Amino acid sequence: METSCPPESPFSTVINRRQQRLTVTPAPDARNSLVLWHQTVSPLKVLRNGLVIMLARHSPSLAFKRLLYRSIGMGVGQHVSFAWQVTPDLFFPELIHVGDNTIIGYNSTILTHEYLTHEWRTGAVRIGQNVTIGANCTILPGVEIGDGALVSAMSLVNKDVAAGARVGGVPIRALK
């Protein structure tokens, strides 16, 4: 998907920056990498993270959500608002950093890992200050979203978003 941009595309450099921030680990044998998830992260850590995330997803208290997400290693700034049903990465939440005064919309997902057929990847997600992420968005590993950016609802954030930019769509593109 990322390699579909021609070399002269303005997005090819941006996509390559995200790709460069990913740690890629080949699967050790012919099985897909997800089958081996328990070799990449402790099952007890996943269980703990899952319980904390489930509680946070259903909590009406924004302050309690911030406290819960910080307890599993997420970097969460002051006055961050996680709407109902936001799902941070279950395996590596400590790779997520959200700046002050940011809103993450209803039912959005923030991923820091990708298990693929022949490899698995991890990458930190950095969301700046005063960012608005609309409902039902998916943010892929390695993405950086600059301060003051706006991501419209139902978007796939597969590349970096510049500070102050307005983007949306699947995959994201600049909005007018």
Average of per-residue pLDDT across 110-117: 94
List the 156-157 sheet strands across, edge first: 87-88, 109-110, 138-139, 156-157
Residue 70, classed as helix, strand or coil, is helix
* Inter-helix orientation angle 43-58/62-71, to 10°: 170
Range of the domain at 31: 2-174
At residue 9, the pLDDT reads 41
pLDDT surpassing 80 at residue 4: no
CA dist., res. 145 & res. 54, Å (int): 25
Return the minimum-mean-pLDDT range out of 26-40, 51-65, 74-88, 158-172: 26-40
pTM of the model: 0.88
CATH number for 74: 2.160.10.10
Neighbours of 6 (CB within 10 A): 7
At residue 27, the pLDDT reads 87
Q: How many distinct structural domains can be found in the chain?
A: 1
The span from the first CA to the last CA of the chain, in angstroms, equals 25
Average of per-residue pLDDT across 74-88: 98
CA dist., res. 62 & res. 35, Å (int): 35
